[in-house]
Chains A and B, each alone.
Chain A
Amino acid sequence: MKLICKLTIILSVLVLIWSCETPESLEPVSGIEGKLFIEGEWPDSIKATALIVLKTLDPNNLEIVTYSTPILSPLIESEYFFQLEPGFYFIAGAGLTIDPGVFFAKIDSFMASGNLPIVVLDKTPHLQRVIQLGEQEVLKIDQTILFAQ
């Protein structure tokens, strides 16, 4: 009986210590936030627009880090936020050429094929601008996508 008691106490203490492992609480993040404005008439071929964040400017290897929630036609204004690790990035406006619902339903196969139904809408000047992010830094940058008037 004494042995059972001792074992129980030891087990409880061990369990308690184990439960006190190093916490991994969420912390403030770094990123870019702002407003996205659409100017001009939506082309028929574009079903939705979004901002995309790129790691490189290599046209043969557009490495998309993340993208904003798509705006559906005919909206002209939206807020966006990109959570990003500290480092260097480029932002571009992009158009989805298919229904965004279909795009997200099949995103894994699109990504695997490398044939994304996306067109870059504003190659300049944003793509040329390097955005540098520091630790837990949130930059405020408004963006405008210009469609033909």
Chain B
Amino acid sequence: MKKIILIFLFLSLLSAQGSITGSVTRADNGEPLLGVNILVQGTFTGTATNAEGQFKIEPLQPGEYTLFVSMIGFEKYTEKNIVVADKEVLIEIQLKQDVLSAPQVVVTASRNVQDVMELPVSMSVIGPRKIHDRATVNLIEVMKFEPGISSIRGQLNIRGTSGYTLGVGDRTLLLIDGVPVLGSGAGNITWTMVPMSEIDHVEIIRSGGSALYGSSALGGVVNILTKNAPTKAETRFRFKSGMYSEPKYKQWQWRSQPGLFNYLDLTHSRPIGKHSAYVRFHKAKSDGYKRQGWTDANNITGKVKFNFGERYNASLFANYYADKTALASQWKNAANPFSAPSGEEDDYTEGTKLHLNGFFNMILSDKTVIKLKGSMYDVWWQNHSATNDNGIDEQKGYGEILISTTLSQSTQITAGLVGQTAKIRAGVYGDHSSLSMAAYIQAQQRIGKKLTLNTGARMETYFVDEEELDESLAPQIALNFRMFDWLSFRSSVSSGFRVPAIAEMYTRSQLNIFKVEPNPDLIAERSQAGEVGMTVKLLGNKWISDMTMDVVAFKSTFDQLIEANQDDKGIIHFENITDARISGLEVGLSGAMLDKSLLFSTAYTQLNPEEIDKDGNTIDTLAYRFRYTLVTTIGTRLMGVTATLENRYMSRIERVKLFQENAISGEDKRVPIHIWNASLGYDYRGWDFLFRVENMFQYYYTELERNMGEERHLSLTVSKKI
């Protein structure tokens, strides 16, 4: 009888099992989080969230439980005192992004979602925290703190690939949400139109190559992933106001009052049925730190995220930018480095840019996805200058179809077709059109549990004025070996190409004694790049934790680089004149100390940029490259107060092309760049305050000859989410 009672009691207990179900979302925008680990304390029971961020843990005996919730890139979370009886317990969890971390999954390197520890190529990921802490309106100011990245007068350099090319023919490709945003005429990037307040994160491929993204990607790719509207209605504003210091030398002071700058961001987002949308207005007005440094810009950005059910989703992004900006070629002279040359004091340029892009995703099955992408870019600008009244009007269209399919558990194939067309009307170039068509394929193969092999190639044909200019094949092979969860090695070999910009082929202009004439015979420049790298991630303990170290050695060779060259009659043409080789080393180190109260990151880059002959012998150092770069950030976060100190060191540029140093007269002296920035932030009841001072020791330098670097400036940024 006793046995029967015991069995009955046992069965009763079994039947009284309960469960915990719930969802995990991002605290900042309410988006569901996939792959969050959930563990029940004191048991081996656990699970991970699905694509909707949902989870269920069962069966659980009646009792009181504690859940540990964790995901790399987010702060750990503990839910205590969950009482489970014989029913389902429902909980909702919101995870905050970790102050240290950037997102741990990326999409740019293979056009598919990948863990950063399994990337076969070198990539920097800039999360929203880094962007927020610098409160800048120009993304380059944030990117400069990543390994291998520098800029010269606003021209981005990844591993020294671009140098300075008079603002035309960038060797870095900019994407917004995976769609290129290059101006087709000059092939340059307008960084100020990037909607900084709406960036989710930025992925920067530092390994050059054109296998996935085509022309211009030979120096690397910057992909800006914009935020989706949150599922709840909200309004955000950010106001940044500040002033430039007067030059510390009396001889250089040029105005009676300090220069001011003001930036305003106003964003409203809300759900619209199953869909969501936001619109953002941005106003920028700055007196500038020099006589011809002022700017006045307006920017409207909007994005709609369509949700058509589990299998279909789409997005439409629009960005309109209008500005008036002072034009300045150089300073008046070394005695007046903040003044404009005589006759150029009132020169300015005005323009508008409209960028639309969108995609439509169709999940055909659990294994196959088709993505359609489209983009339109319209650019108009006009110079108003005593010597240079150039203007430009161009339209560019872009279309892409991509299919990604999982052939087996270990093999994934991505392939696509791309078409791109541009029409340009410009005073200095004339009327021209271009067309490019490309096909690419990439295979990602898992070999065993630790090895990932990426192979791919892109074939592209490029026409200018309906005549074929170039046909290029760019293959790539890349390998990742994840020896342990915390240690991975990578290696890649790739080739790249860049077709000449219309500006390089057709510019006809005269500035003072310098005359520029067209060269329609230009051909595409090409590159071969290889690298070997290693990433280490250590969780550590409370004294030192979240350590990440990334080391990579790289070497790239370039054939037929296009540069401005002066012939024996003094006439400047863009020509395929240089072969080059850039080798180097990047070391990135970041982490936290003292129970995450002290955060640090540092990045060191060493370049050996050489101009070489056909036999590979060194002729000279490549112009406009920094041989050594070291950037360091130290920050602390205690009781709601954030304090950060940054240092940026770039060695003296060894070779320039425009104005050489004169040791006898002291003219055009070049010095290393040595900048200190500091900031202090405080979060008070949802109001976020950030005081920041940049170039605080008033260090004076030139990146480009006869152009003084930015003067010390102080700013206060206030932001609030309603």
Q: Which A positions have Cβ atoms within 8 angstroms of B?
A: 1, 4-5, 8-9, 11-12, 15-16, 18-21, 23-29, 31, 33, 48, 53, 55, 65-66, 69-70, 72, 79, 81-85, 99-106, 136, 138
Judging by beta carbons under 8 Å apart, are A26 and B700 in contact?
yes
Query: How many angstroms from the CA of A24 to the CA of B388 in the assembled complex?
Result: 36
Which chain B residues border A85 with CB–CB below 8 Å? 664-666
- Smallest beta-carbon distance B289→chain A, Å: 14
Which chain A residues border B547 with CB–CB below 8 Å? 8
Judging by beta carbons under 8 Å apart, are A83 and B666 in contact?
yes
Judging by beta carbons under 8 Å apart, are B647 and A102 in contact?
no
Question: Of A21, A29, A79, which is within 8 A of B334 by CB?
Answer: A29
Query: How many angstroms from the CA of A70 to the CA of B570 in the assembled complex?
Result: 14
Judging by beta carbons under 8 Å apart, are B669 and A105 in contact?
no
B292 close to chain A: CB less than 8 A: no
Q: Choose the segment among B54-62, B67-75, B79-87, B512-520 that binds chain A (4+ C-beta atoms closer than 8 Å).
A: B512-520
Judging by beta carbons under 8 Å apart, are B335 and A29 in contact?
yes
Query: How many angstroms from the CA of A55 to the CA of B665 in the assembled complex?
Result: 10
Judging by beta carbons under 8 Å apart, are B671 and A28 in contact?
no
Query: How many angstroms from the CA of A16 to the CA of B274 in the assembled complex?
Result: 51
Judging by beta carbons under 8 Å apart, are A105 and B566 in contact?
yes
- Contacts A12-B589, A33-B335 given; does A101 touch B665 at CB 8 Å: no
Query: How many angstroms from the CA of A81 to the CA of B589 in the assembled complex?
Result: 47
Which chain A residues border B43 with CB–CB below 8 Å? none
Judging by beta carbons under 8 Å apart, are A81 and B335 in contact?
yes
- Contacts A83-B666, A105-B566 given; does A8 touch B591 at CB 8 Å: yes
Known: A19-B647, A105-B566, A106-B568. 4 other contacts (CB 8 A): A8-B544, A15-B602, A83-B667, A138-B251
12 residue pairs from A and B, CB less than 8 Å apart: A8-B589, A15-B602, A15-B632, A19-B647, A24-B671, A25-B698, A27-B249, A29-B334, A55-B664, A66-B664, A79-B342, A100-B570
Query: How many angstroms from the CA of A136 to the CA of B250 in the assembled complex?
Result: 11
Top 5 nearest A-B pairs by Cβ distance?
A101-B570, A81-B333, A26-B700, A105-B570, A24-B671
1/0 contact trace for B588-618 toward A, CB 8 Å?
Answer: 0101010000001010100000000000000
Question: Of A19, A66, A101, which is within 8 A of B632 by CB?
Answer: A19
For B669, give the chain A residue with the smallest CB separation. A26
B569 close to chain A: CB less than 8 A: yes
Which chain A residues border B514 with CB–CB below 8 Å? 101
Query: How many angstroms from the CA of A16 to the CA of B332 in the assembled complex?
Result: 36
Question: Of B543, B634, B701, which is within 8 A of A26 by CB?
Answer: B701
Which chain B residues border A18 with CB–CB below 8 Å? 630
Judging by beta carbons under 8 Å apart, are B665 and A28 in contact?
no
Judging by beta carbons under 8 Å apart, are B630 and A12 in contact?
no
1/0 contact trace for B502-544 toward A, CB 8 Å?
Answer: 0000000000111100000000000000000000001010011
B308 close to chain A: CB less than 8 A: no
- Smallest beta-carbon distance B382→chain A, Å: 27
Judging by beta carbons under 8 Å apart, are B513 and A84 in contact?
no
- Smallest beta-carbon distance A145→chain B, Å: 17
Of B649, B698, B708, chain A has the most CB atoms within 10 Å of the CB of B649
Which chain B residues border A27 with CB–CB below 8 Å? 249, 700
B65 close to chain A: CB less than 8 A: no
- Smallest beta-carbon distance A50→chain B, Å: 10
Judging by beta carbons under 8 Å apart, are B570 and A5 in contact?
no
Query: How many angstroms from the CA of A23 to the CA of B566 in the assembled complex?
Result: 35
Query: How many angstroms from the CA of A1 to the CA of B543 in the assembled complex?
Result: 12
- Smallest beta-carbon distance B93→chain A, Å: 31
- Smallest beta-carbon distance B126→chain A, Å: 21
| B538-558 at interface with A (beta carbon < 8 Å) | 538, 540, 543-544, 547
- Smallest beta-carbon distance B439→chain A, Å: 44
- Smallest beta-carbon distance B332→chain A, Å: 8
B380 close to chain A: CB less than 8 A: no
- Smallest beta-carbon distance A49→chain B, Å: 12
Which chain B residues border A81 with CB–CB below 8 Å? 332-335
Which chain A residues border B662 with CB–CB below 8 Å? 65-66
Judging by beta carbons under 8 Å apart, are A5 and B544 in contact?
yes
Which chain B residues border A24 with CB–CB below 8 Å? 671-672, 674
Which chain B residues border A23 with CB–CB below 8 Å? 674, 697, 699
Query: How many angstroms from the CA of A81 to the CA of B514 in the assembled complex?
Result: 19
Question: Of A5, A55, A82, A100, which is within 8 A of B540 by CB?
Answer: A5
- Smallest beta-carbon distance B96→chain A, Å: 26
- Smallest beta-carbon distance A69→chain B, Å: 7
Query: How many angstroms from the CA of A29 to the CA of B672 in the assembled complex?
Result: 18
Judging by beta carbons under 8 Å apart, are B649 and A83 in contact?
no
- Contacts A5-B543, A105-B570 given; does A25 touch B699 at CB 8 Å: yes
- Smallest beta-carbon distance B634→chain A, Å: 8
